[in-house]
Amino acid sequence: MNIGEIARRAGVSRSTVSYALSGKRPVTAETRRRIQAVIDEIGYRPNAAARALKEGRTRTLGLVIPPAGQRLTDMQLGFVASVVEAAARADLDVLLSPSGGDHDRSFERILTGSRVDGVILMEIRLEDERVARLQDSGLPFVTIGHTANPHGTCWVDVDYTTLIARCVHHLADLGHRSLALVNRSAELLATGYGPAHRAITGFTDAVAQRGLAGVGLTCADEPAAGETCFEQLRDRHPDVTAVVTVNEAALPGIQRGIERAGLVVPRDLSLAGVAARHWAEDFRPQLTAADVPTVEMGASAVDLLLERIAAPDAPVRHLLLTPPISLRASTGPVPR
């Protein structure tokens, strides 16, 4: 059903129906009543463009993702999917825009092109010029992740520092005295990527608190790198009996490395970490881990952004999640 059919049934012109829907020009109460009666009868719903025109908004949210040349991790894809689903429930569209490298112009168009009502920014660095740029633009925004000094911004994040520390304490309680942290890539660390640096803080602090020996390794976000990383760990630090990781994409390779070394988890080696639930459950045996709630985080980011759009001057809010460590089958007592 379209505006022409509504006009025919109400006995008015198409332009009169359009004015009644958009509010651009006055329409008599009687004419508006007739038009509304037809709309109610046929269940007509104005399209998104018409509603946006009436509201003075685009009804579109921008989601800034890592550079297009990078293959997104499952966790990143989970954030994208959860944001899109939450936006759809609010009858909103999502415009994806890569940032970084050769994509700075795409990010600038999001900020200056009047294409979106607000922005969700992923993969936050401790010092992130994109956040500063968004603050300067005045466009409502929310980040998944947070900077070193997030004052004045709305954000959703996982408390990597606390969660990695809890993994260390769990392993220490099982008697492990020599631990390794398998982190994200050296390149991400160099950029100041928040989760990687907070994982180091949590690991280092907990190891020191419990009087343990700890070693950190960087690893690219792919299975082959995970296998290589584990081989290097065994060659250089054969005394390590437990591994903590925030690199879920490397887990299949770590598992291959364990099997090639003839080790049995958790009899010979324990593993724990922070990962999306399906990664933890696909590991064999299932991984003791804090399951990152990607669906909740994406939905919360959309909710916070809609709050900012509706009330830009309201106090900023943030959500720091600390999911429980799910004790599965990959951790056990230190080998004798």
Predicted confidence (pLDDT) at residue 129 exceeds the cutoff of 90: yes
Considering the domain architecture, whether residues 275 and 181 belong to the same structural domain is answered as: yes
- What's residue 252's pLDDT? 97
Going by pLDDT thresholds of 50, 70 and 90, the confidence category of residue 221 is: very high
Buried b (16+ CB within 10 A) or exposed e, 21-36: beeeeebeeebbebbe
Residue 98 lies in a domain: yes
Residue-level pLDDT at 44: 67
Residue 245 scores a pLDDT above 90: yes
Joined together, the tokens standing for residue 332 give: 């056990």
Q: What is the domain extent for residue 19?
A: 3-46
pTM above 0.75, yes or no: yes
Predicted confidence band of residue 79 (pLDDT cuts 50, 70, 90): very high
pLDDT on residue 74:
83
Q: pLDDT tens, 273-320?
A: 999 999 999 999 999 999 999 999 999 999 999 999 989 888 999 999
Residue 129 belongs to a domain: yes
> Which pLDDT score is estimated for 103?
60
Q: Do 194 and 231 have their domain in common? A: yes
Choose from 22-26, 98-102, 127-131 the range with maximum mean pLDDT: 127-131
CATH number of the domain to which 303 belongs: 3.40.50.2300
pLDDT at residue number 42? 78
Both 216 and 149 in one domain: the answer is no
Q: Which of 82, 74, 76 is nearest to 99 (CA)?
A: 76
C-beta atoms surrounding 8 within 10 Å: 13
Mean pLDDT, the chain, whole residue set: 91
Q: Are 200 and 316 contained in the same domain?
A: no
Looking at the structure, tell me whether residues 193 and 273 fall in a common domain.
yes
The total of structural domains in the chain comes to 3
At 12-60, the pLDDT tens digits run: 988 888 777 766 677 888 888 888 888 888 776 665 545 554 555 788 9
Q: 150 and 66 share a domain?
A: yes
Q: Which residues, 6 or more positions from 94, have their beta carbon under 8 angstroms from its beta carbon?
A: 60, 61, 62, 63, 83, 84, 87
- Over residues 156-203, the pLDDT tens digits come to 999 999 999 999 999 999 999 999 999 999 999 999 999 999 999 999
Cα pseudo-dihedral 50, 53, 55, 59, rounded to 10: 80
Weakest-pLDDT range from 47-61, 240-254, 318-332: 47-61
pLDDT computed for residue 33 by the predictor: 86
152, 300: one domain: yes
pLDDT at residue 3 greater than cutoff 90: no
Whether residues 125 and 220 share a domain: the answer is: no
